[in-house]
Chain A
Amino acid sequence: MSFLVRRILASLLLVWIVASIVFLAIHLVPGDPAELLLSAGGAAPDPVTVAELRDRLGLNLPLRTQYGHFLGGLLHGDLGTSLVDDYPVLDEIALRLPRTLELIVAATIIALAVALPTGTWAALHKGSAFDRIAAATAGLVLAVPVFVVGTLMVLALAQTLHLMPAGGYVPLAKAPGQHLLLLAMPAIAIAGGLSAVLFRMTRAAVLDVAGRDFVRTAWAKGLSPARVQIRHVLRNALSPVLTVLGLHMGALLGGTVLVEYVFNWPGLSTPLLAAVDARDYPMVVGIVLVTSTLFLVINLVMDLLYAVLDPRIGVS
């Protein structure tokens, strides 16, 4: 229990630090955000308009007061409004975050479904043709950036073979089949690199566990191979695989931005990129904060899962 509380407190502290860094980054970067925003068009901004915008953004208040407002807003779930269209940032995120999460969950499931069996099989048949081919494939897949995988999938499956639509989105309630079809391509693109990483880790972990004493005991007891390999070997090999999955969530969240762009998947990527282009600070800050928090929460969940898989961790 104390392990749980400590981990949650540490995560909250990190969220606060992340929020503070984002706040400071905006306010300490040389140049006036209001002026930068208005001069994006190229012409020198009108001083009166700049002053008005400074006032609206609260930039004339002392830094400490601004920081107070910022944190107070966060606690109330208020992330401000977009500078471009005055739309509340939180509403935009609430609309689009589920779609991004759906993509990440689907990609993780696909990656695990590929990596766990192949990694275990490769480890149990170390040095076989399968092992060598799988290892070489993983090495090759890791060298292809996720947006290249996505773009090439569009070229091959949509443009050349006409097997799939090139991208887009249909709500699940409207057309479930079409929804899953449109989900499949971006999810597979994201899952590619992840499954290669997880394959390597599964193989290494299974190799490590398969040589331990308790596995030899399990064999000596006369348990069936399936029971030894799944209950004893794979279960104990899962912890390091989960850790690596947690570590790669950051890269996965970034990769999702790119893949959503490639496949026109209307997740967080679209408003984020538009906001970066228009220098819409509240929107960028909101999305970066929510995504970083999500990253920290995922790692927290991983740690807790870790404790479930290996009860010794919670005790210490």
Chain B
Amino acid sequence: MKRLAVPAGLVGVIVLLAIAAPWLGLPDPVRQDVGHRLAHPDAGNLLGRDEFGRDVLSRLIWGARTSLAVAFSSAAIAGFLGTFLGLLGGWFRGAGALLALGSADIILCFPPVLLALLVVTLLGPGALTLVLVLSVLFLPGFARVTYAEVLAVRGLDYVEAAQAMGATTARILFRTVLPNVAGPILVQLSLAVAAAVVLESGLTFLGLGVVPPSPSWGLMIRGARTTMEQAPLLLLWPCAALTATILSINLLCDALRDAADPRKTVTLSSRS
């Protein structure tokens, strides 16, 4: 538990900053002021202004909001559906549920960025498209993990005891089985959030994710590339924010994994 505290605290601070963004008294992150483009830091703009004269600090914090909103909602949707699918598949092992699990696996045949680009072509860029693509991409992971865990747990004594006491299937699945397989699912959830932040920023960087003028780290890096000679710091701030966020979530993943299963020491972190 002690090892969980530091990474959980780091992620907590980032999430709190993102949630509190509207109440921090920051300058408007989208208001342009071309007269002060690339202005140096001063009392009102602690990190200076970007190529359109927008406040950099404000855009950094609002950018966390965009990134994390996309990442958490897609991880939550994928986690909810995938876990449900895995629970049903692992418990009933019926043809329908297994077929659903198998077809979810086919998503893994596509390189993630390319599947995302295909969907962006069809639906157009935007935060909603991103959430949809990322949920679809992460669903099979949750389904697989839950399925494997349910298979391991379903024959154990306490499940049999619940059945013997006459509990309904729904009650057994959600009150007996689910809490006992929650550890690995939680680890999977943190992995999905980290991977979602990476993918979201990457697609946005290509100009095919979150659309301007929304503040987003990917867009900030994309924009700062053109002015990197005059204002290298503009490029470094969003890179640092993005890396620090991913690092904190990765550390949380590792700590959660150790807490969920102290025997496993091998760690493989999120896919980029």
Contacts and interface: CB of A to CB of B under 8 A. Distances in A.
B109, B119, B236: most-surrounded residue (chain A CB, <10 A) = B109
Contact of A148 (B117, B221, B228, B250): B221
B272 A193 contact: yes
A279 B121 contact: yes
B112, B120, B202: most-surrounded residue (chain A CB, <10 A) = B202
Contacts of B117: 257, 272-273, 276, 284, 288
Interface in B186-232: 198, 201-202, 205-208, 221, 225, 228-229, 232
Nearest to A17: B106
Interface stretch (A1-9, A43-51, A108-116, A153-161): A153-161
Given A14-B109, A17-B106, A273-B206, A146 B114 contact: no
Nearest to B225: A151
Given A152-B239, A248-B271, A261-B206, A143 B250 contact: yes
Contacts, number: 146
A255 interface: yes
B43 interface: no
A145 B114 contact: no
B111 interface: yes
Interface in A229-272: 244, 248-251, 253-255, 257-258, 261, 272
Contacts of A90: none
Given A145-B201, A276-B120, A284-B121, A254 B111 contact: yes
Q: How large is the interface on A (under 10, 10 to 19, 20 to 34, 35 or more residues)?
A: 35 or more
A284 B239 contact: no
A197 B268 contact: yes
Given A18-B110, A29-B123, A258-B113, A251 B235 contact: no
A139 B114 contact: no
Nearest to A197: B268
A291 interface: yes
A25 B202 contact: no
Contacts of B121: 275-276, 279-281, 284
Contact of B111 (A143, A196, A244, A253): A253
Instruction: Name the prevailing secondary structure of the B interface residues.
Output: helix
A258 B114 contact: no
Contacts of B106: 14, 17-18, 21
Nearest to A240: B266
Nearest to B238: A148
A181 interface: no
A308 interface: no
Interface string A276-297: 1101110011011001100110
Interface of B: 106, 108-115, 117-123, 198, 201-202, 205-208, 221, 225, 228-229, 232, 235-236, 239, 242-244, 246-247, 250-251, 265-272
Given A200-B266, A250-B110, A295-B109, 9 more contacts: A139-B269, A142-B270, A147-B221, A197-B269, A254-B202, A254-B272, A255-B113, A276-B117, A291-B111
13 contacts: A147-B221, A151-B239, A159-B228, A204-B266, A250-B110, A255-B113, A257-B114, A273-B206, A275-B121, A287-B114, A288-B117, A291-B111, A292-B111
